Amino acid sequence: MVNGTHKMNPLGKAILQCWRSSIGRKIVVAVTGIILVVFLLGHVAGNLLVFQGADPMNSYAQFLHHFLHGQFIWIFRAGMLAAVVLHIWATVSLTMENRAARDSHYACDNTVQASKSSRIMIWSGLTVLAFVIFHLLHFTVRVDPDLANLPDTAFAAKHPGESRHDVYAMVIKGFQNPLVVLFYIVGITLLCSHLSHGIASIFQTLGLRSRKSSGFEHKLGLAISIALWAGFLSIPLAVMTGALKNTEGKGHAELSPSGHATVEIVDAREG
C-alpha cells in the first residue's frame, strides 16, 4: 500500500511538513495570534460606538451585515473560526509535545519555569474559548429570545418597509444580568492576561526580538491588553452603573443641539 503522503502534491507536502515541525506550529500560533489581536482591536472600537447612542451603533451593525451583499460577515466569520481553531490546535499540540519531552529528559530551572508558563497559557486559553462560545451564543446566535426579538423601531419609522435589529437595546438588556457581567469580567480578564504574554511571544517566534527590544515588546503587550480590558469591560460596567440607561421599553437615539447622541425612551405600553 502506498503511503497517503506520497500521493499529495508538493504544496500539500510542504504544509504537512510545516505542521509536523514545532517551528511550523509556532509560526501558525504567532500568525493566527496577530489576526486575533487585530480583530479584537477592531471589535472593541466598534463596540464603543454604544456610547454614541443607538443610531451609530445600529448603523454600524447594519453596515457589517450588508457589506458585499451580506457575504462579508460570513466570509469574515469563517476566517476567524479557522484562525481560532488553528491557534488552539497548534498551541495544544505544542504543549503536549513539550510535556512529553519534559517527562523523558532532565529538567532544569528554565524548563520548569517554561512549563509553568505553558500550563497557565493553555488553561487560560481554554477558559477564554469557553467564554468566546458563551459570547457568541449570547450576542451573535442570540439563544435568548428576549435579545433576538428587538427591532429598531426608530429606524422602521424613518424607513417604511425596512427593518434592522436594535443592537443598542440588545447590549443594554444583555448586560442587565449581574451573573452575565461577572462572567464577562472573568472572561475578558483572562483573555487580556493571555494576550499580555502572547503578544510578546509573537515577536520571539517570528525572530523579531532582540535584547534591546524585549522590554518594548512586553510593554506593548501589556498596553494592548490593558486597552482591550478597559474597552470591553467599560460597556457592561456602564450598563450596571446606569451610565448606559437600563430601560424596559424601546430606546432610540436622537441628536441633541450640541450634536451628541441622547437616548429617547419610548415606553412599550405606549405602543
- Residue 211 is assigned to a structural domain of this protein: yes
pLDDT in tens, 132-148: 899 989 998 899 998 98
pLDDT above 50: residue 267: no
pLDDT reading at 188 higher than 50: yes
Report yes or no on 16 lying in a domain. Answer: no
Structure confidence at residue 261 (pLDDT): 41
- Does 13 reside within a domain? no
DSSP per-residue letters across the chain: ---GGGGS-HHHHHHHHHHHSHHHHHHHHHHHHHHHHHHHHHHHHHHGGGGG-HHHHHHHHHHHHHGGGGHHHHHHHHHHHHHHHHHHHHHHHHHHHHHHHHHHS---HHHHHHHHHHHHHHHHHHHHHHHHHHHIIIIIS--SHHHH--B-HHHHHHSTT---B-HHHHHHHHT-SHHHHHHHHHHHHHHHHHHHHHHHHHHHHTT---TTTHHHHHHHHHHHHHHHHHHHHHHHHHHHHTSS---SSEEEEEE-TTS-EEEEEE-GGG-
Is pLDDT of 129 > 70? Answer: yes
Is residue 232 in some structural domain?
Answer: yes
* Range(s) of the domain holding residue 74: 25-270
Residue 246's pLDDT is 44
Instruction: Identify whether 7 is part of a domain.
Output: no
pLDDT attached to residue 115: 46
Q: What is the CATH number of the domain that holds 229?
A: 1.20.1300.10
pLDDT above 70 (res 190): yes
The whole-number pLDDT of residue 97 equals 81
Residue 14 is assigned to a structural domain of this protein:
no
- Tell me the mean pLDDT in the region 141-164: 90
Write out pLDDT tens, residues 7-22.
Answer: 667 767 777 777 778 8
Quick one: average pLDDT of 34-62?
Answer: 95
Domain count within the chain = 1
